[in-house]
Amino acid sequence: MESQKAQSVAPRGSVQIKNSNGRLQLVFSHLIMTPTGELKTKRFYLSTGYYDTPLGRHQASALAAKIQRDIDYGEFDASLAKYKPAASLSTVSPITPSSPSRSGDHLQAATTSLNSYSTSIGIDKIWVYPVNSANNYNPL
């Protein structure tokens, strides 16, 4: 019975992936120095923000490997700032509408705005295909 318990315990210093309410969390222990100069083992919890899906597990595994590598090489950042995912939402400036003087000006303005927005969120380009009132493709 004790041997089964020993098998379920992770090795000291290893980064584990845990499901917490459908989101993935990294859990691990690491030695830190207290302000008094003592070495103590601290348990760290890092919420990844990734859902418990195959893709989320892959992303969490990559992050766990990065943390494990830093622990092994003595480069671990105890503030965890180095490992926190970047914000998924970015601030977008509002677009002020203008009255188009030509029929295609509004389409060009919309395409420029979409491309600007897509670049800010990491998409190279958004293609816009105009249609006429009968929903037929209308090449420019």
pLDDT digits (tens, 9 = 90+) for 56-79: 999 999 999 999 999 899 898 988
94 and 136 housed in the same domain: yes
Q: What residue has token string 């180095």? A: 82
Q: Are 23 and 49 in contact (CB under 8 A)?
A: yes
Where among 72, 99, 114 does a domain terminate?
72
95 and 128 housed in the same domain: yes
- From residue 104, alpha-carbon distances to 74, 90, 127, 134 in Å are 59, 29, 16, 17
Query: For the chain, what is the mean pLDDT?
Result: 75
Q: Is residue 1 part of a domain?
A: no
93 and 134 housed in the same domain: yes
Q: Is residue 83 part of a domain?
A: no
Structural domain harbouring 105: 89-140
Instruction: Please state, as a whole number, how many other Cβ atoms lie within 10 Å of the Cβ of residue 123.
Output: 11
pLDDT at 34: 86
| pLDDT per residue as tens digits for the range 87-113 | 544 566 666 665 555 555 656 666 666
The yes-or-no verdict on residue 52 having pLDDT over 70 is: yes
Q: How many domains does the chain have?
A: 2
